[in-house]
Amino acid sequence: MKRTNYQCQMSNEGRISRIVDANVNRAVEGLRVVEELVRFILENKKLTDQIKALRAQIRRGRTGLKVRSSETDVGRKLYHTTEAARETLLDIFTANIKRAQEALRVLEEYSKLVSPRYGAVYKAIRFKLYDLEKKIYYPLLRQTKLDFDLYFITDPMRNHLDVARQAIQGGIKIIQLRDKMADQKDLLCWAKQIRKMTARAGLTFIINDYVDIAQKVGADGVHVGQDEKMSVREIRRKLGEDKIVGVSVQNLKQAREAEKAGADYVGMGPVFSTPIKPDVKPLGLNLLRKMVQEVKIPVVAIGGIDQTNIDRILSTGCRRVAVIRALLVARDMDRAVCRLRKRIFQGSGPD
């Protein structure tokens, strides 16, 4: 006896419900991982609330469907080797946002067989997720590039290429090329070579002041002073959303303005007196402490910091330290980098 389409559909209804249920779980689980990144790494409440709302909306689509039995699910014990490969927070984000998007595509199709109106609902959620991906990806990428403790800034007192090479060998995570007096042609030449070094080592490379040079060599970003004519927004538009913009500040007002403008970090200094800026009065530890407490973006302390006073910096709650002379005058730069980074790590303790 020939079976009708209706009878065939009814015989598969339970299986379709299990497909829907499995992908609701997959989408919600992926978004939960993303939500934790947005909440605790980016500390963005607005985006966190949006993701939370999407998870609830996805769950509501499961109402009335047969729940699958995980014990009889043939995919229960499958574990692809790529699931174990995560090196950065960005890897975690990418894997889980794609997991959620793929699950929503499955839901969009199969839910039509159970409740057609949900096909349109899941499609709308999927496109919302594409928009969220763009809003999260670049800030998270920049945050990943700012995962450092010791920030090395070069100076013309020593050959830029030599010290960059030594600092990389010592385990530095971020280097800024800085030379206020050099010809721009020379600076561009040095920048190209240091970019190659840092790219091979997987380090963050920042150019001081010169946005054009940062753009030409593909640097990870630029650091500018208060006299910079371009706004943070204009700089990022020129360099790209994946690039870092740091700003030098000397007081809380400047720090708040930089944060509001969209800067990725602020460099406060000089904290102590330094021969690099002999005519500038030290800003001190009290201001650094207040800035760390009141500004949400990373605060990098700079100015006269070395092995003898780094504990005083750490006592303010600041966990990012920029140095120039502390490495340039060291007999063994590799060892100096290791000692300073070890001191920061030991002095950090639990949050």
Closest CA to 151 of 171, 169, 170, 174: 174
Distance CA 241, CA 148 (A): 20
Distance CA 172, CA 148 (A): 8
Tell me what the mean pLDDT of segment 37-54 comes to.
95
Work out the angle between the directed axes of helices 232-239 and 252-261 (0-180°, nearest 10). 40
Phi, psi dihedrals of residue 315, rounded to the nearest 5°: -65, -15
On the question of pLDDT at 350 being above 80, the answer is no
Closest CA to 152 of 223, 87, 240: 223
Mean pLDDT score of the chain: 90
Distance CA 167, CA 160 (A): 11
Residue 239, token pair as written in the block: 């360099």
Is residue 80 very low, low, confident or very high in pLDDT (cuts 50, 70, 90)? low
SS3 245: strand
Tell me what the mean pLDDT of segment 122-150 comes to.
95
pLDDT at 26: 96
Q: Which residue has the tokens 């100076």?
A: 155
On the question of pLDDT at 256 being above 70, the answer is yes
**Cα–Cα–Cα angle for 284, 152, 292, nearest 5°?**
35
Is residue 114 very low, low, confident or very high in pLDDT (cuts 50, 70, 90)? confident
pLDDT at 17: 81
Q: Does domain 147-348 have CATH number 3.20.20.70?
A: yes
Which strand (E) or helix (H) includes residue 323? Answer: strand 320-323
**Structural domain boundaries in the chain:** 7-144, 147-348
Is residue 75 very low, low, confident or very high in pLDDT (cuts 50, 70, 90)? very low
* Amino acid residing at 100: A
Phi, psi dihedrals of residue 247, rounded to the nearest 5°: -130, 135
DSSP 110-145: HHHHH-THHHHHHHHHHHHHHHHHHHHHHHHHHHHH
Which strand (E) or helix (H) includes residue 244? Answer: strand 244-249
On the question of pLDDT at 19 being above 50, the answer is yes
pLDDT at 222: 98
Residue 117, token pair as written in the block: 């109106």
Residue 267, token pair as written in the block: 């460099």
Percentage of the chain exceeding pLDDT 70: 89
Q: What share of the chain is helix, strand, coil (3-state, %, to 5)?
A: 60, 10, 30
Please tell me the least confidently modeled range out of 58-67, 145-154, 288-297. 58-67
Q: Measured in whole angstroms, how far is the alpha carbon of residue 292 from the centre of its chain?
A: 19
Tell me what the mean pLDDT of segment 135-159 comes to.
95
Is residue 74 very low, low, confident or very high in pLDDT (cuts 50, 70, 90)? very low
N- to C-terminal Cα separation, the chain: 71
Number of H helices, E strands in the chain: 13, 8
Is residue 5 very low, low, confident or very high in pLDDT (cuts 50, 70, 90)? low
pLDDT at 186: 97
